Chains A and B, each alone.
Chain A
Amino acid sequence: MAILPSVAFSLSSPSLSPLSGTDNYFISTSISRQPLHAASHRRLHLYSRSGLPTISASNSEASVSSSSSEPMVPPYNVLITGSTKGIGYALAKEFLKAGDNVIICSRSAERVKSALQNLRGEFGELHVWGTKCDVRQGDDVKNLVSFAKEKLEYIDIWINNAGSNAYSYKPLSEASDDDLIEVVTTNTLGLMICCREAIKKMLNQPRGGHIFNIDGAGSDGRPTPRFAAYGATKRSVVHLTKSLQAELRMQDVKNVIVHNLSPGMVTTDLLMSGANTKQAKFFINVLAEPAEVVAEYLVPSIRSVPANGSTKPTYIRFLTGLKAYSQIFSRFAFGARRNRYLLED
């Protein structure tokens, strides 16, 4: 049951993703910035043309609730929390490659600065901005929104990526106070505050907006021993998304949509810090992918959501059940991916 929808999605999305994903990649690495921009514009224009019927339909619907709504057209304005490293950084990079405007943020001002420097070096000054923001602080998040408003005027896609595991994998009874509090407040409290501010901002935008919450291990309700607190918070992420979807439906809001986004296992610090048991090493080798690979897949999927004007909540998964099982199978059958990232036994 759980696998079915995601498989359906992964079957339908490749029709879009090869074009925008690999093509972009090629262009951006070989040719200069300007042609890319034009190319992506043209292509996405085509997309929106092909998706015209759905857009106009949603328009007429939306016009019932809010008088002035515009279709969302690229380049999109993207805000990603916790985006100075790992999957957040990779996503930011991928969005920039697609020609979008990106705002990055993180708890540490220095990391924001260095990430900004790298990204600006690659994509120019006018597409990426960054500020310090601790998602656990309501005021910080409010400042982030006003910063985004000042730089970009509106936000189309808001990705709640900031998450923490305190980089420790221990049974709960050995975890320290600070770790536990950090995990819960970052993953749950931070997410809730961000969602609230994002919805608040997007309700006032004629273009509406899309919010993506990143899930993690445990979000399907399966147990996560050695990182119980993290699993519990990620489970609550999925539930929050569900409740918010229901809430927005109750309020008859059609142009602000909350989605889930599942990057699967990504070889970031968060995951690798737990690679000290045999079982963990096995699964990391078999199932995990580098952040760049994941982002390369996810970004076209994310961008296709506003592009085809859908107002339905989605659950975008990188590591679908089918994919996971086939990888595990090929590992057992052919020994594929052995010792890929980590030396086993």
Chain B
Amino acid sequence: MAAVAKIHVSTPLHWHLTGQPPPVRLEFRRNLVMLETISVIARSRGRRRPCVRSFRSGEGGGGGGEKEEESSRKGGDLMENNRVRSNKGNYTGLDFLKSAFLRSPLDDRFQDALDKLEERLFSIALQIGRYIVTMASTGLILLIGFQLSGGDSQLNDLVWYSWLGGVIIGTMIGSNMVLDEVSRAGPRNVVITGSTRGLGKALAREFLLSGDRVVIASRSPESVYMTIKELEENLKEVMVSEGGSSGNMARAKVVGIACDVCKPDDVRKLTTFAVSEFGSIDIWINNAGTNKGFRPLLDFSDDDIQQIVSTNLVGSILCTREAMHVMKNQNKGGHIFNMDGAGSGGSSTPLTAVYGSTKCGLRQLQSSLLKECKKSKVGVHTASPGMVLTDLLLSGSTIQNKQMFNIICELPETVARTLVPRMRVVKGSGKAISYLTPPRILLALVTAWLRRGRWFDDKGRALYAAEADRLRNWAESRARFSFTDAMEMYTENTWVSVFSLSVVCAFIILSSTGSTFPGT
């Protein structure tokens, strides 16, 4: 197993270093990414299936359900995949095991169990490889730092113990997440309100490309129709660029319905529509929100206020209630996300008083719902996208605002790419999934100078590409992004714990040896 893992590690490094793709680059890169694994399997199916297929048909055991067969194929392919890459021709321990079983007459059940075992072992190997990458790099950084600072052997020990501690803790947290991911693989049924533009659309696209089935909803039927068309196009493009028949994307589907979230009947229509299309709702995102520009309360008309309150507050409340109705009766429950916004934390929001106070109210609603849903299988969460370059933010913003946006804002696609993987694997209740985490804020502040002309020039003109261009570029670079993202998602705990322990360790060193080093 370790050998397999090592190979995962070395190849991407090699690739990065030389800049030349190794012959098996595609498979390798993809295999590093849990999320992408399934699509790889699907692709490789065409090539390598005959092996498993023939075996199955020879057995005459086609009785297993379609799903089981699929999963077994998955496992088999994975193993094949693995073997072909790692040591062609040579049997690994598992293959030997498998071939041993192959000769003996066995039933379907046993085969399935074996396949499942293979699948598990493979994903474990995958994770081990991933952690070795993380650990090696953190270790390397520590080592370099240590060498540069020039310490003695006693400190060296301390450094390495802290590093080991970080590895262990991080691995435990990470493997928990991974096991969870493994146990709950498969497409989710997602409903996103207000999803015909801005962040909602980006979220819908991201879910779709993760292989989920998405219901989009918005007030106007035309824009819903347009968005469905566009997203289907996106999906097709990506599927083509990924090549062949992508397994998980084949199940991806997008449907939509017009729905005004502040009308109870519309919301009910939306839920029945979603249930009739997909059978269940796993994730519901209350994304619909409106702001109507930045100005003092005095300049807001009755209609403006009415619309903001009813979309943000009434809409979220009604949608949450309907979603809870549906999810309560589902075996696997479901998850509801409410979107945070400026004011959620309770700090004042002059010039957007109405918007801010509705968002602040939503946060309190979340805490009440958390108590009410304690015993049910429904999870209520918040997702905070930070500042996103959408119409909601940009309407009526001044040049000064835009200069500030340069530093902290992000494109909706970037934010969605970070939020969606976390939303898909969320469990429990009351989680807060946010884009602007402290490290990101720190990074933004540190690099503020470099970010000056990122989105807007000094006259406030937009420098970033229009959505269509953005998407084209983005589809091309998607693979790379999913790699970094998955890396981040699975190893962030490890990174955090390694570095926090290093800091603690450094502190101990400094405080305990302060007297012996007159220089410090």
Contact = CB atoms under 8 A, between A and B. Distances in A.
B264 interface: yes
Contacts of A138: 301-302
Nearest to B374: A225
B225 interface: no
A247 B302 contact: no
Contacts of B352: 243
B309 A247 contact: no
Contact of A172 (B306, B310, B313, B321): B321
A172 B317 contact: yes
Given A247-B350, A247-B353, A250-B350, A229 B365 contact: yes
Interface string B291-310: 00000111011100110011
B71 interface: no
B309 A235 contact: no
Nearest to A249: B350
Contacts, number: 154
Contact of A224 (B296, B320, B368): B368
B297 A192 contact: yes
Contacts of B343: 239, 243
A139 B358 CA distance: 22
Contact size range, B: 35 or more
Contacts of A249: 350
Q: Point out which of A172, A180, A236 has the most chain B C-beta atoms below 10 A from its C-beta.
A: A236
B350 A180 contact: no
Interface in B313-356: 313-314, 317-318, 320-321, 324-325, 328, 343, 346-354, 356
A225 B369 CA distance: 7
Interface stretch (A30-38, A121-129, A182-190, A328-336): A182-190
Interface in B225-276: 262, 264
Interface residues of A, number: 49
A185 B309 contact: yes
Nearest to B361: A236
Nearest to B325: A173
Nearest to A219: B364
B265 to A, nearest CB: 8
Nearest to A177: B264
Interface string A166-194: 00000111010100110011001100110
A232 B351 contact: no
Contacts of A246: 348-350
Interface in A243-296: 243-247, 249-251
A312 to B, nearest CB: 15
Given A192-B297, A221-B363, A247-B350, A236 B369 contact: no
Contacts of B356: 239-240, 243
Nearest to B320: A172
B184 interface: no
Given A185-B309, A239-B357, A223 B314 contact: no
B368 A196 contact: no
Nearest to B353: A243
B298 to A, nearest CB: 6
Contacts of A251: 296
Contacts of A173: 321, 324-325, 328, 372
A185 B314 contact: yes
Contacts of A139: 302
A189 B368 contact: no
B362 interface: yes
Per DSSP, chain B at the interface is helix
Contacts of B351: 247, 250
Contacts of B310: 184-185, 189
A243 B350 contact: yes
Nearest to B313: A184
Contacts of A175: 321
Contacts of B369: 172, 228
Contact of B362 (A192, A232, A247): A232
A177 B320 CA distance: 12
Contacts of A247: 296-297, 350-351, 353
Nearest to B302: A138
B317 A232 contact: yes
Contacts of B354: 192, 240
Contacts of A181: 262, 264, 314
B348 A235 contact: no
B370 interface: yes
Contacts of B318: 177, 180
Contact of B309 (A188, A195, A218): A188
Contact of A243 (B317, B324, B357): B357
B345 to A, nearest CB: 10
A302 interface: no
A35 B356 CA distance: 49
B220 interface: no
A237 interface: yes
Contacts of A231: 364-365, 368
Given A193-B302, A228-B369, A232-B313, A221 B358 contact: no
B53 interface: no
A196 B361 contact: no
Contacts of A203: 298
B397 to A, nearest CB: 16
Q: Point out which of B325, B353, B363 has the most chain A C-beta atoms below 10 A from its C-beta.
A: B353
Nearest to A203: B298
A42 interface: no
Q: Point out which of A138, A185, A228, A237 has the most chain B C-beta atoms below 10 A from its C-beta.
A: A228
A226 interface: yes
Nearest to A192: B305
Given A192-B305, A196-B297, A229 B317 contact: yes
12 contacts: A180-B318, A184-B314, A188-B361, A192-B305, A199-B298, A221-B363, A229-B317, A233-B361, A239-B348, A239-B356, A239-B360, A242-B346
Interface of B: 262, 264, 296-298, 300-302, 305-306, 309-310, 313-314, 317-318, 320-321, 324-325, 328, 343, 346-354, 356-358, 360-365, 367-372
Given A181-B314, A192-B353, 5 more contacts: A180-B314, A223-B368, A224-B368, A239-B360, A247-B297
In the complex, the 8 A-B pairs of residues with the closest C-beta atoms, listed nearest first: A138-B302, A236-B361, A235-B364, A239-B360, A243-B353, A228-B368, A232-B365, A177-B264
